[in-house]
Structure 1
Amino acid sequence: MSAYNHILVVLDPSVEKQKALNRAIELVRLQGGKLTAFLSVYDFSYEMTTMLSGDERESMRLAVIKDRELWISDYLAAPKAGGIEIDIKVVWHSRPFEAVIHAVLEDSYDLVIKGTHDHDVLKSMIFTPTDWHILRKCPCPVLLVKDHDWPQGGNIIAAVNAGSEQEHHLSLNQRVTKTALKMSALLKAQTHLVNAYPGTPVNIAIEIPEFNPQEYNDTMKLHHVDAVAALAEQFDIAAENRHVKEGMPEDVLPEVAKILDAEMVIIGTIGRTGLSAAIIGNTAEHVIDRLDCDVLAIKPENFISPMQKD
């Protein structure tokens, strides 16, 4: 049984190397399953053709779709010849992230794979890129692919928040760890648990003279070390593969990933949207741009996409 039986891989016609497709093919070769190569297309000149008849406009739309289907078919000739089963799905949609999520909702894909690149931090705060929309709203796991290889015998990181007592964090810790172990088995890699914990709040240390920051730090660290140990012991993860570090996740995870030369970081994301996302942000999003390896984002159990509510 495949970990992911039905995979949607998002193509990018603006680049020559389709790293998401290459990664998807690699995954299917390792674990089996079926691929769908997906592309949403839209020609904004279509908006300027209102003087044409309905049939003429429809012919124009179909011609654009057909052209993209032919491009994909040519690109897929080699992997298909190698025995990989790949369907093609091209849809007409002006908002790529909505097209991806609609496809997932319609056809119940197990995994979305998409290439990613560095996002401009300032622009990301104002204009949410397609990747972020997919991360927040896609109901199935999303693998964002960078350029790091998947060598056998490597390292996979499960990013956990073991010190939290909130139910959604505890549940996500379990899901993230189980997923990391499955991916490690596929890639013959080692699983590492990485947990960041906050340091002493500076304002408390200043405002309360009798406050002992060292004691606070020691207590906080011990709490997280014990929580990570309890989680690791459930899954028989060795002590040397447990990493508990002071700092923010967006600092700690890239640091440990670089030291381990990890090929993948698996992270839970609650899919925060709206005003809270704009103000607070999502840890996964802060982390992704600072990693040079793939990121697999896992949603909580029974997550409902905002687009399912529309």
Structure 2
Amino acid sequence: MKKNVLVIADMKENNVLSLEKARYITTYFDCNIEIIKFINNIDSSKTAPSQLISDAEDILSSTIDNVFDDTTEIIYEVVITENIADWVVERCTQKSIDLVIKEGHRTEALFHTPTDWQLIRHLTCPILIASHEKWKSQANILLTIDLSHDDDNHNALNDLILTWGYSYSTLTHTQLNAMYSIPISKPLLEFDVVDKDLVIESKGPAAKQKMQSLLNRFDMSAITSHITAGPPDRTIPHMANELHSDLVIIGCVGREGLGGFILGNTAEKVLHHLRTDCLIIKREQV
């Protein structure tokens, strides 16, 4: 069954990163690709909206032809909107999108929530936030597993992460690693209240056993697993850097309202420090 992939084109200063990542990833899958270029702030333009759309469509069409070898399964559209996130969420619902691909923009002001964060919080399908790093010929994918919770939502997220990793690895012969970070709050580490090595020594064996049991269930016992300790928003980027990972797959239980504004969630915090592609798997709470 074909996958439906929505690509958000960011072509400022001839940046075609999201299109190139989409070409690479969808090479291995049977996909319908829809590419959307957004235009906003049209009030400041002296050009008529219809002409802005026409000009952008010409550029987008030419760019697609240059990036993709085969464009027969690609449709594209230029959209004028001031709220990209709402438009994308609605489109994904209407067309049953399986994956969104977007270039990452990692700046965030205290009282402003960028499009990246809105999409992470509101999309129900996975979203790939693309970095500026190109994948190696023999790519390395890091699967992040949360073993600290045993509820249905987190268990389902772990299953989805392993399913996506297994499927992609099977098609592309990609090297897989799996990791779990035993939670330790930053203040406890910074003030030497807790010794990370002692935490790994005392809790690591049980975590390793639980990880291996999970991997065995997915017939993935041969992949290398890593147990560390500390805040995941620090340990995950550190592990990705140590392993030279091209892609990190992480689960996200969306958090709305004031709690999400003040605390965010693990996926959002990881993106502050991660400098590689990140595939965020979302599952709505049930």
- TM range, normalised to the smaller chain? 0.7 to 0.9
Verify: 1:252 aligned to 2:250, yes or no. no
Instruction: Find the counterpart in structure 2 of residue 54 from structure 1.
Output: none
Instruction: Find the counterpart in structure 2 of residue 241 from structure 1.
Output: 224
Flag the 1:33–1:217 CA change in 2: closer, same or farther, 3 A: closer
Contact 1:97 1:134 in 2 (8 A): yes
Q: 1:272 aligns with which of 252, 255, 270?
A: 255
Deviations 1:142-174 (A, max 9, x none): 001112222343321111112321221111111
Q: 2:90 aligns with which of 98, 102, 105?
A: 102
Contact 2:212 2:221 in 1 (8 A): no
Find the residue that maps to 1:73 and give its secondary structure.
helix
Equivalence map 1:173-188=2 (5 Å): 173-188=158-173
- Calculate the TM-score normalised by the size of structure 2: 0.88
1:186 CA drift (Å) = 3.0
Verify: 1:281 aligned to 2:264, yes or no. yes
Aligned counterparts of 1:220 and 1:172: Cα–Cα separation in 2? 22
1:37 CA drift (Å) = 1.0
Aligned counterparts of 2:67 and 2:197: Cα–Cα separation in 1? 57
Verify: 1:36 aligned to 2:19, yes or no. no
Aligned counterparts of 1:82 and 1:214: Cα–Cα separation in 2? 52
1:215 CA drift (Å) = 7.5
Contact 1:42 1:94 in 2 (8 A): yes
1:213 CA drift (Å) = 10
Which residue identity is paired with 2:56? R
1:235 CA drift (Å) = 2.2
Flag the 1:303–1:142 CA change in 2: closer, same or farther, 3 A: farther
Flag the 1:189–1:81 CA change in 2: closer, same or farther, 3 A: closer
Aligned counterparts of 1:85 and 1:215: Cα–Cα separation in 2? 54
Contact 1:139 1:303 in 2 (8 A): no
Equivalence map 1:1-310=2 (5 Å): 1-2=1-2, 5-45=3-43, 60-79=48-67, 82-120=70-108, 123=109, 125-199=110-184, 202=188, 218-238=201-221, 241-300=224-283
1:84 CA drift (Å) = 4.9
1:86 CA drift (Å) = 1.5
Flag the 1:252–1:214 CA change in 2: closer, same or farther, 3 A: closer
Aligned counterparts of 1:276 and 1:44: Cα–Cα separation in 2? 34
Find the residue that maps to 1:30 and give its secondary structure.
coil
Q: % of aligned pairs identical?
A: 25
Please say which structure displays the higher CA radius of gyration. 1
Note the residue ranges of structure 1 that are not aligned, 5 or more in a row: 50-58, 305-310
Contact 1:117 1:289 in 2 (8 A): no
What is the total number of aligned residue pairs between the two structures? 284
Aligned residues: CA RMSD: 3.0
